[in-house]
Chains A and B, each alone.
Chain A
Amino acid sequence: MAAPYDLNDDSVVVIIGSGAGGGTLGNELAQKGIDTVILEAGGRHEAEEFINDEWASFGQLAWLDKRTTSGDWRVAKDFSGLPAWIVKAVGGSTTHWAGASLRFQEHEWKAKTNYGDVEGASLLDWPIDGEEMAPYYAKAEDKMGVTNTNGIPPLPGNNNYKVFEAGAKKLGYERVHTGNMAINSQDRDGRTSCQQSGFCFQGCKFSAKWSTLYTEIPKGEATGKLEVRANAHVLQIQHDDSGKVTGVLYADKDGNQHVQKARVVAVAGNSIESPRLLLNSETSMFKDGLANSSGMVGKNYMRHMTASVYAVFDKPVNFYRGTTMAGIVQDESRHDPSRGFVGGYEMETLALGLPFMAAFLNPGGWGREFTSALDMYDHMAGMWIVGEDMPQESNAITLSDAKDQYGLPAPNVHFSDHANDVAMRNHAWRQGTAIYDAVGATATYPTPPYPSTHNLGTNRMSADAKDGVVNKWGQTHDIANLFVSDGSQFTTGAAENPTLTIVSLAIRQADYIAEQMSQKNI
């Protein structure tokens, strides 16, 4: 058969979501000749339609459906209806992402073994390791065109990077460079090189930054084996009496409901929607939701330990010009408990436009202290800090009493920092501030976490079916033809930005699904 596929075609693999995980898996399966349908809740906006204006772009692409929050994180107070910044559009959050693409470090695959028992943390070792992942990382880096891999030159440093690099080197940091970025530093794969336009977070109008929207998805579609159905919001995954999944119920853009039959279903809706969908799919046979015999669906929600540091200088920086995040200090990413915490963190350059800077510099802040910072906007440099946070069972996506536009329970996102997260953040704030002080900052601002961009862990991978939701292939322990293909598989978060790992896992999972299908196991 060839795309488009009939609703009653029960030979297709249905993938829910077209972002880093779903978009990649869709293309990989299509390349193998497997009939695949991606159902994507959002619309399709091609690169030329992207809007280089922060709020307007947010309105165009962000996931704004009903969500609630709880826990003692500041986001619950400052952005109570917006726990996470996730995209609802073809391409998913890879339209908005910055492109930082780092491999896990070896020790991070085995966090429980290497960090030991950390009180209050539900640490677990991944059932896979760096050696097993290496070939898939290599494929992903090639696919995404990651700088400083595959002979791809680094990006040039922008003004924000120059300040960051100078300060970091003065402090004695050594692993300082413009990053491993899935942004073309030269023309590659039919896409142009970065034009330093400064709107990586709003969708790259030049398609220089990798996004499934204009790489994986059209490549998959070109095979005739991939159909991407936009504005198709999946409400429920259905199953038969034997407990196998049989298809999904979705609403189209007019709210009309359809059932798409399927041989295999892969969930890739990002770490809030994926567990919510499994929970909302409960039936008399699966009373706690699909694939939830472990009780771990939605649990162990991670969002990385994050923070920012902005600094003001007596001379202009104009940090908004150029790539949003091409700059990194990696020296603190090591595991070194002598610093007072387990795991490590990366420091990465970050610039926001004036509207977002006003919203995020110090949420809720006002008065002259606040505005004197913004008055120096063009004299500012900035960095984002991203480190490993501790999984905690109590940090969780659960079904809220509030309802979404389809009358289904909305997700509640509950998060509280672990003491290790707090210790790491304080260390990172100190070091980040020191970097800017080293080059003469006149003021520095330790900025709290934004709504989560890295949402992880809510259908975690485990060797043992009682500890997690999926096995080492992302296949649910409970239901052989139901897979999880996004960041919710993460057993632990590691210090690195997650997308390269999500893509690598999806490439690997495609091989496994193809093999299992040909062996008629699923």
Chain B
Amino acid sequence: MKIDTLNQGVNRRDFLAASGKTALGAAMVVGAGTLVVPSQGWGMELKSLKPETMATMIQMARDIYPHDRVADKYYAKAMRAHDDTGAGDADTLAMLEDGVAELNARAGKVGMEKGYGSGGYLDLGWEADRVAILRDIEDSGFFQAMRGSLVVGLYNQKAIWPLFGYEGASAHLGGYVERGFDDIDWV
């Protein structure tokens, strides 16, 4: 899985400036087969999923496992696998595209009811509104596929472990025997 760094060569005129109200939605710029977050210096090229679909999936990933100290690119990296799978598997691709379309439709209804306007999932600015939609669909195959892959794909990224204070393997350093296995003094 590789997250491409921002491709400077991409013609900015190709981009649709997202009118999103989530932080991520506002920062993302989608182009033909690409998704770029200029302010965060990363982007990705997509093989199968529509960039708008991937953008929504990344937001959904954050709403499923919200860690405010974990940057978007790690969620994006976890979602990347779906694009790879979708490239070789039409059923999966359809399941994801349909799932996101459903999410956007539900979000549009909520937006109208609440007076935010009829945008999609990325236009719902409050996490609580988005989470309420996810609760309604949490038994769906789409949600389960998203959550199931994310629980491994997100937390298995060594780059985020330090944010949680997890140091991981220690054998190459001689274990924790001299490195704090019994160092707390507050009990």
Known: A371-B65, A371-B67, A377-B164. A53 touches B169 (CB 8 A): yes
Asked if B151 is at the interface of the complex by the 8 Å CB criterion, the answer is yes
* Bound Cα distance from A316 to B9, whole angstroms: 46
Q: Which of B64, B168, B174, B183 contacts A52 (CB 8 A)?
A: B168
Q: Across the interface, which residues of B come within 8 angstroms of A162, CB to CB?
A: 182, 184, 187
* Bound Cα distance from A10 to B138, whole angstroms: 58
The minimal Cβ–Cβ distance linking B131 to chain A, given in whole angstroms, is 6
The reply to whether B164 and A374 form a contact with Cβ atoms under 8 Å apart is: yes
Asked if A439 is at the interface of the complex by the 8 Å CB criterion, the answer is yes
Q: Across the interface, which residues of A come within 8 angstroms of B64, CB to CB?
A: 366-367
Q: Which of A158, A206, A353 contacts B168 (CB 8 A)?
A: A353
Q: Across the interface, which residues of A come within 8 angstroms of B186, CB to CB?
A: 315
The reply to whether B65 and A366 form a contact with Cβ atoms under 8 Å apart is: yes
CB interface residues, A 156-208, toward B, < 8 Å: 156-159, 161-163, 166, 194-199, 205-206
The reply to whether A197 and B187 form a contact with Cβ atoms under 8 Å apart is: no
* Bound Cα distance from A161 to B183, whole angstroms: 11
Known: A354-B161, A367-B64, A375-B67. A159 touches B182 (CB 8 A): yes
Known: A52-B171, A366-B147. A353 touches B182 (CB 8 A): no
The reply to whether B184 and A197 form a contact with Cβ atoms under 8 Å apart is: no
Q: Which of B138, B151, B174, B184 contacts A316 (CB 8 A)?
A: B184
* Bound Cα distance from A198 to B166, whole angstroms: 11
Q: Across the interface, which residues of A come within 8 angstroms of B154, CB to CB?
A: 358
Asked if A452 is at the interface of the complex by the 8 Å CB criterion, the answer is no
- From A55, A366, A367, A368, residue with most partner B Cβ within 10 Å: A366
Q: Which of A315, A322, A358, A368 contacts B151 (CB 8 A)?
A: A358
* Bound Cα distance from A357 to B156, whole angstroms: 11
Q: Across the interface, which residues of A come within 8 angstroms of B177, CB to CB?
A: 194-197, 322
Quick one: closest B residue to A322, CB to CB?
B181
CB interface residues, B 129-183, toward A, < 8 Å: 131, 134, 138, 147, 151-152, 154-156, 161, 164-171, 174-177, 179-183
Give the interface size bracket for A toward B: 35 or more
Q: Across the interface, which residues of A come within 8 angstroms of B66, CB to CB?
A: 367-368, 371
The reply to whether B166 and A353 form a contact with Cβ atoms under 8 Å apart is: yes
The reply to whether B155 and A354 form a contact with Cβ atoms under 8 Å apart is: yes
Asked if A407 is at the interface of the complex by the 8 Å CB criterion, the answer is no
The minimal Cβ–Cβ distance linking A162 to chain B, given in whole angstroms, is 5
The reply to whether B181 and A321 form a contact with Cβ atoms under 8 Å apart is: yes
* Bound Cα distance from A195 to B165, whole angstroms: 20
Asked if A151 is at the interface of the complex by the 8 Å CB criterion, the answer is no
Q: Across the interface, which residues of B come within 8 angstroms of A337, CB to CB?
A: none
* Bound Cα distance from A55 to B153, whole angstroms: 10
Q: Across the interface, which residues of B come within 8 angstroms of A375, CB to CB?
A: 67, 69, 164
Quick one: closest A residue to B184, CB to CB?
A159
The reply to whether A378 and B165 form a contact with Cβ atoms under 8 Å apart is: yes
Q: Across the interface, which residues of B come within 8 angstroms of A355, CB to CB?
A: 152, 155-156
The minimal Cβ–Cβ distance linking A326 to chain B, given in whole angstroms, is 10
Known: A318-B184, A367-B131. A377 touches B166 (CB 8 A): yes
Q: Across the interface, which residues of B come within 8 angstroms of A197, CB to CB?
A: 169-171, 175-177
Q: Across the interface, which residues of A come within 8 angstroms of B152, CB to CB?
A: 55, 355, 359
Q: Across the interface, which residues of B come within 8 angstroms of A194, CB to CB?
A: 175, 177
Q: Across the interface, which residues of A come within 8 angstroms of B168, CB to CB?
A: 52-53, 353
* Bound Cα distance from A198 to B179, whole angstroms: 12
Q: Across the interface, which residues of B come within 8 angstroms of A321, CB to CB?
A: 167, 170, 176, 179-181
* Bound Cα distance from A377 to B154, whole angstroms: 15
The reply to whether B166 and A320 form a contact with Cβ atoms under 8 Å apart is: yes
The minimal Cβ–Cβ distance linking A272 to chain B, given in whole angstroms, is 23
Known: A195-B177, A198-B176, A358-B155. A205 touches B171 (CB 8 A): yes
The reply to whether A378 and B166 form a contact with Cβ atoms under 8 Å apart is: yes
Asked if A512 is at the interface of the complex by the 8 Å CB criterion, the answer is no
Quick one: closest B residue to A161, CB to CB?
B182
Asked if A317 is at the interface of the complex by the 8 Å CB criterion, the answer is yes
* Bound Cα distance from A285 to B165, whole angstroms: 61
The reply to whether A354 and B164 form a contact with Cβ atoms under 8 Å apart is: yes
* Bound Cα distance from A158 to B180, whole angstroms: 9
- As a 0/1 sequence over residues 298 to 317 of chain A, the CB contacts with chain B under 8 angstroms (1 = contact) are 00000000000000000111
- From B131, B154, B177, B183, residue with most partner A Cβ within 10 Å: B177
The reply to whether A195 and B184 form a contact with Cβ atoms under 8 Å apart is: no
Quick one: closest A residue to B160, CB to CB?
A354
* Bound Cα distance from A316 to B147, whole angstroms: 29
The reply to whether B170 and A52 form a contact with Cβ atoms under 8 Å apart is: yes
The reply to whether B167 and A320 form a contact with Cβ atoms under 8 Å apart is: yes
The reply to whether B181 and A196 form a contact with Cβ atoms under 8 Å apart is: yes
Q: Across the interface, which residues of A come within 8 angstroms of B134, CB to CB?
A: 366-367
Q: Across the interface, which residues of A come within 8 angstroms of B175, CB to CB?
A: 194-198, 206
* Bound Cα distance from A111 to B66, whole angstroms: 48
* Bound Cα distance from A358 to B166, whole angstroms: 12
Quick one: closest B residue to A363, CB to CB?
B151
Q: Which of B67, B169, B170, B187 contacts A439 (CB 8 A)?
A: B187
Q: Across the interface, which residues of B come within 8 angstroms of A439, CB to CB?
A: 187
* Bound Cα distance from A41 to B152, whole angstroms: 27
* Bound Cα distance from A166 to B174, whole angstroms: 28
Q: Across the interface, which residues of A come within 8 angstroms of B147, CB to CB?
A: 364, 366
Q: Across the interface, which residues of B come within 8 angstroms of A377, CB to CB?
A: 164-166
Q: Which of A166, A199, A205, A322 contacts B182 (CB 8 A)?
A: A322
The minimal Cβ–Cβ distance linking B175 to chain A, given in whole angstroms, is 3
The minimal Cβ–Cβ distance linking B39 to chain A, given in whole angstroms, is 24
CB interface residues, A 41-72, toward B, < 8 Å: 52-53, 55
Quick one: closest B residue to A356, CB to CB?
B155
CB interface residues, A 303-349, toward B, < 8 Å: 315-318, 320-322
Contact surface of A with B, Cβ cutoff 8 Å: 52-53, 55, 156-159, 161-163, 166, 194-199, 205-206, 315-318, 320-322, 353-355, 357-359, 364, 366-368, 370-371, 374-375, 377-379, 439
Identify 15 new A-B residue pairs, CB closer than 8 A, beyond the known A197-B177, A366-B147, A367-B131: A52-B170, A159-B184, A162-B184, A166-B187, A197-B175, A199-B170, A315-B184, A321-B170, A322-B176, A359-B151, A366-B64, A367-B64, A371-B65, A371-B67, A375-B164
Give the 10 A-B residue pairs with the shortest CB-CB distance, closest first. Answer: A378-B165, A195-B175, A322-B181, A197-B175, A52-B169, A358-B155, A321-B176, A196-B181, A354-B166, A166-B187
